[in-house]
A and B are shown apart, each in its own frame.
Chain A
Amino acid sequence: MQSNKLGWILLAPTLVILFFFGVLPFLYVVFVSFHQWNPFAASPEMIFNGAENFRRIVFDDAFLNSLGVTAAFVVFAVFSELIIGYLLAQAFMKEFPGKSLFRTIHTLPLIMAPIIVGSVWKLMTTPSIGIIPHYLDEWFGITMNIGTSAPVAFMTIVIMDIWHWTPLVTLTLIAALVSLPRDPFEQAQIDGANKAQTFWHITLPMITPAVVATVFIRLMDAMRTVDEVWMLTGGGPGSSTRFLGVHIFKEVFPKTNYGYGSTISVIVLYLTIVVCWLLYVSMLAPRKNRKG
């Protein structure tokens, strides 16, 4: 039988790389988060200030605002993506002419770089060159200005995210739907269950693990989004689209507030891990029960 030594040899390169490029930077961030450090300020030295940064974060309106904005974004975007993605996945379960072509087209946004998605939507929505504000004005007389209206900017980002990531949800849900057993559905049909009952009592419980996995991936990415939002709105107008990722970026780069920026990152990383861990456990739980 194979020895555990071989197992560790196989694991070693991964652990080494992740240690040097994941863990060490993280420990460094934790270390810096207990300091006041702005290398370009009057006193560029790192000054230890204990938990001061962590106390500050609790009363920091800007941080709390970006936490709220991110939460709103995650809820709006992920929820819409799940609903649209589910409907499309169901539609893809039927046979129709040109199905694989349509599926390929539907998958395209997935492979676009976030920075390009950001720039495309910028090209489409910037007043004076964008096609969307132009026709909204010409046909409906609506003025859309992403640079001045907070709700418009927020909704544009949500729609951009839906456009970019719904395909991922559709694909994972197709994978889940394909693998469902046929029997319960036939039984339900014999028993005369209607569509809504079949969905709530059979389909939904069975695809829950896939839904949770999708939410997991989307949540993880939504909490660290920077590229697209940075390109499209730069976090503005005001702080209406200043998501956590953007907030940290702004704190660290233009303001060079390394100490406080690190504190925010530690908190955000902690929140992400807690939320993802809960999802992960709830995802594993039914599987373990099934195994008995």
Chain B
Amino acid sequence: MKKRNPLLTTIFWIFISLLTLFPIYWLFVISVKPAVQLFSTPDLIVDNPYWGNYTEVLGNRLLRSYMINSLVISTGNAVLCTVLGFFTCYALSRFQFRGKESIFFWTITNRMAPPAVFLLPLFLLMTQVYRIGDFTLLDTRIGMILVYCTFNLPFAIWTLRPTIDAIPRELDEAAYVDGASPWKVITEIVVPLCRPGLAVTLILTWVFAWNEYLLAATLTNFEARTLTTGLSEYVTTTGTEWGIMATISVFTLIPALIVFGLVQKHIVAGLTFGAVKG
């Protein structure tokens, strides 16, 4: 192997990183500019940051409740999808069914549906059909948690399948022979072995739910609105409040960054989508 110049390599990666980071940096720049300065010469460096947008967003009671909704919905959905995805993959991996692969593929097809047109049937079902007395699923956190399963559950199944398939069956069979209950086998043998895969799935489903916009914008009115829908409320026909929009974006980005930082190490192993064995 010929050695490359380390300085050149570093310069190359700094260049790539700048390209990657620039849009994120620009978001921050816009968020610390007062509205009047937006239309002047775009400067790369902000010499005196203006924090007005931040105090406005943090002081807005509505946006704070959106933030809490986002947290509850994405956490609930990520936990639900990871647990159910795990059960599904365990069943698909360890039991013999007729049409097992078809069930697997069918779960994935749920993720292919164009969301735009599902808004209407989901809206009608959630207001008219899925109701107990006066309680409907529309505009509730639990409703959104369930709706997000349509795209996150297939994803969880898709990413967890190879992880569970890779665990030798002999391990659980030996435990069954020793008289362990299925529950014990799952919690004490299988779960510890696929912890990295579970962590990656949990985080990614969390990020997807946190980032979702279209469904949240239609299926919530007030009670369960999320942060991403708050963003679009500042794009109006009378003009866009760019600064506020950028600030909300920054607030949406930070939790995702923190959460994502937690699984950086495992992300590559978790993202093989069944294409790589071992």
Chain A contacts to B: CB under 8 angstroms: 1-2, 4, 6-8, 10-11, 13-15, 17-18, 20-22, 24-26, 28-29, 32, 88, 91, 94, 96-98, 100, 102, 104-109, 111-117, 119-121, 123-124, 128-131, 134-135, 163, 167-168, 171-172, 174-176, 178-179, 209-210, 212-214, 216-217, 220, 223-224, 226-227, 231, 244-246, 248-249, 252-253, 258, 261-262, 264-265, 268-269, 272-273, 276-277, 280, 283-284, 287
Main secondary structure of the interface of B (DSSP, over half): helix
**Bound CA span A175–B270, Å:** 9
Stretch of B48-56, B57-65, B191-199, B242-250 that contacts chain A: B242-250
Contact status of A175 and B112, CB under 8 A, knowing A107-B267, A111-B207 = no
A98-B13, A119-B231, A171-B267 known; 20 other A-B pairs, CB under 8 Å? A2-B176, A2-B182, A4-B96, A14-B87, A14-B153, A17-B149, A21-B122, A24-B121, A91-B12, A109-B23, A111-B253, A111-B260, A112-B256, A119-B246, A120-B27, A134-B41, A176-B275, A179-B277, A269-B113, A280-B105
Shortest CB–CB separation between residue A40 and chain B, in angstroms?
13
**Bound CA span A292–B241, Å:** 61
Contact status of A97 and B10, CB under 8 A, knowing A106-B16, A248-B117 = yes
Please name the residue on chain B nearest to A39 by beta carbon: B120
B276's partner among A1, A14, A112, A209 (CB-CB below 8 A) is A209
Q: List 30 A-B contacts (CB under 8 A).
A: A1-B176, A2-B94, A4-B96, A11-B88, A11-B103, A14-B157, A94-B4, A96-B9, A96-B10, A98-B10, A102-B16, A106-B16, A106-B17, A112-B211, A120-B24, A123-B27, A123-B30, A171-B271, A172-B273, A176-B275, A209-B276, A210-B273, A213-B275, A249-B116, A261-B116, A262-B117, A264-B117, A265-B118, A268-B114, A280-B105
Residue B174 lies at the interface, judged by CB distance under 8 Å to chain A:
no
A272's partner among B112, B273, B278 (CB-CB below 8 A) is B112
A115's partner among B4, B231, B242, B276 (CB-CB below 8 A) is B231
Interface size class of B (residues with CB under 8 A): 35 or more
Contacts of A246 in B (CB 8 A): 116
Q: Are A172 and B275 in contact (CB under 8 A)?
A: yes
The 7 A-B pairs of least Cβ separation, nearest first, read A7-B95, A113-B211, A265-B117, A25-B121, A213-B275, A249-B116, A10-B91
Please name the residue on chain B nearest to A271 by beta carbon: B112
Shortest CB–CB separation between residue A243 and chain B, in angstroms?
10
Residue B142 lies at the interface, judged by CB distance under 8 Å to chain A:
no
Contacts of A210 in B (CB 8 A): 272-273, 275-276
Contacts of A124 in B (CB 8 A): 23, 26
Q: Are B269 and A175 in contact (CB under 8 A)?
A: yes
Contact status of A17 and B114, CB under 8 A, knowing A22-B150, A124-B26, A171-B267 = no
Q: Are B117 and A283 in contact (CB under 8 A)?
A: no
Shortest CB–CB separation between residue B176 and chain A, in angstroms?
7
**Bound CA span A121–B87, Å:** 40
Contacts of A18 in B (CB 8 A): 107, 110, 149-150, 153-154
Q: Are A248 and B20 in contact (CB under 8 A)?
A: no
Q: Are B112 and A129 in contact (CB under 8 A)?
A: no
Contacts of A135 in B (CB 8 A): 42
Contacts of A96 in B (CB 8 A): 6, 9-10, 13
**Bound CA span A88–B90, Å:** 35
Contacts of B222 in A (CB 8 A): none
Q: Are A163 and B20 in contact (CB under 8 A)?
A: yes
Contacts of B23 in A (CB 8 A): 109, 117, 120-121, 124, 163
Q: Are B213 and A6 in contact (CB under 8 A)?
A: no
| B90-113 interface code vs A (CB 8 A; 1 in, 0 out) | 111011110001010101111111
**Bound CA span A224–B19, Å:** 26
Most central of A15, A18, A94, A96 by chain B CB within 10 Å: A18
Shortest CB–CB separation between residue A152 and chain B, in angstroms?
17
Q: Are A213 and B117 in contact (CB under 8 A)?
A: no
Contacts of A10 in B (CB 8 A): 87-88, 90-91
**Bound CA span A213–B159, Å:** 11
Contacts of A112 in B (CB 8 A): 24, 211, 253, 256
Contacts of B257 in A (CB 8 A): 108, 111
Contacts of B130 in A (CB 8 A): 20
Contact status of A252 and B120, CB under 8 A, knowing A10-B91, A14-B107, A21-B146 = yes
Residue B147 lies at the interface, judged by CB distance under 8 Å to chain A:
yes
Contacts of B278 in A (CB 8 A): 179
Q: Are A131 and B103 in contact (CB under 8 A)?
A: no
Please name the residue on chain A nearest to B130 by beta carbon: A20
Please name the residue on chain A nearest to B104 by beta carbon: A280
Q: Are A129 and B153 in contact (CB under 8 A)?
A: no
**Bound CA span A29–B114, Å:** 11
Contacts of A248 in B (CB 8 A): 114, 116-117
Q: Are B125 and A24 in contact (CB under 8 A)?
A: yes
